[in-house]
Amino acid sequence: MAKNFSIKHQPGFSAIAATCFIVLYLPIIVLVIYAFNAASSTSEWGGFSLKWFQSAWQNTQVVDATLRSFQIGSIAAVLSTIFATMAALATTRTASYPGLTFKYAAINQPLMVPEIVTGVALLIFFSRIKIFTGYSGIGYLVAAHTAFCIPFAYLPIRARLENMDLTLERAAADLYATPWKTFRRITLPLLWPGILAGLMLAFVISLDDVVITEFVKSGGQDTLPTYMLGQIRRGITPEINAISTAFLLLSVAIVTLFFFVSRKRD
């Protein structure tokens, strides 16, 4: 056998991995480069320019959709994180009790169903409610987003809780702290990184959603992704590249933050 026999080596695996990483990033890099293209077509390079960012910035539809995305995203992220935190507290650090398995299944249910099916279901359900109540505001989108963000927010919070033992909380109770005080002074500070991670995850998930939003939204309620989908279907201009680039930058920033928050061990 060869002298430097590496037990971890598998022929061709590194080459495939390298290809994968290049292929994953190449299209995104090309997309970003063409956002700075001065030419108005996306096939030829006409020099460096920021004009497409400017034109996106001045496009009221884009600004409108962006603000709506942020509005829905932040409300849905906060609500789903609060609900997920409560649910995580209720489903961890306990002996099995009646209904625990049901709760796991129910919380993770939105992950098991293809988005198109949920989208259709909500279209039917909300159109009934719209007729019944006459309300056709943004509330439907917020409700839908909150629901499908819960399982994502739940994941890191639950993971964090499972790594926390009950010793400190028991000690606090022994020292006559009320349950609320124990929660606020002991559990919450320890759980905070998990909650933060859940919040960011939920926000990104809400911001990225196309399918469910596309089915639930009423006229004039485009979010940034559904607006972009409409534009891409109609034909493309470098303006979409510019919007995508800004969007990417935001996502990468949040993911980076998430990565550090969730990796941090105390």
Partner 1 sequence: MATAEEVAKAAERRDVRDRWLLSAPALLVIFLAATGPLLIVLVYSFLTPGSYGDVKWQFSPEAWIAVFLERDIFDDTLSIAAAHVTIFLRSIKLSVVTTIATLVLGFPTAYFMATRSEKTRDLWLFLITIPFWTNLLIRTFAVLQIIRNEGIINTMLLKLGIISAPIQILYTDTAILIGMAYVYLPLMVLPIYASMEKLDFRLVEAGYDLYATRFQVLRRIIFPMVKPGVIAGSILVFIPALGAYVTPSVLGGGKNMMLSNLIELQFGQGRNWPLGSALSIAVMIIVMVALLAYVRNAGKSGVRHG
Residues numbered 224 to 243 that lie near partner 1 (CB under 8 A) are 225, 228-229, 232-233, 236, 240-241
Mask for 8-27, x = binds partner 1 (CB under 8 A): xxxxxxx-xx-xxx-xxxxx
Mask for 25-64, x = binds partner 1 (CB under 8 A): xxxx-xx--x------xxx---------------------
**Local structure of residue 47 (DSSP, 8 states):** -
Interface stretch with partner 1, choices 48-56, 158-166, 169-177, 258-266 (CB under 8 A): 258-266
Bridge partners for 48 per DSSP: 37
Q: What 3-state class would DSSP assign to 37? A: strand
Minimum gap (Å) between residue 109 Cβ and partner 1: 5
Distance CA 188, CA 130 (A): 39
Distance CA 139, CA 217 (A): 10
29, 21 Cβ separation under 8 angstroms = no
Distance CA 41, CA 236 (A): 8
Residues numbered 89 to 128 that lie near partner 1 (CB under 8 A) are 89-91, 94, 97-99, 103, 106-107, 109-110, 112-125, 127-128
154, 198 Cβ separation under 8 angstroms = yes
User: Does the protein bind partner 1 through residue 247 (CB under 8 A)?
Assistant: yes
Interface stretch with partner 1, choices 47-55, 59-67, 159-167, 222-230 (CB under 8 A): 222-230
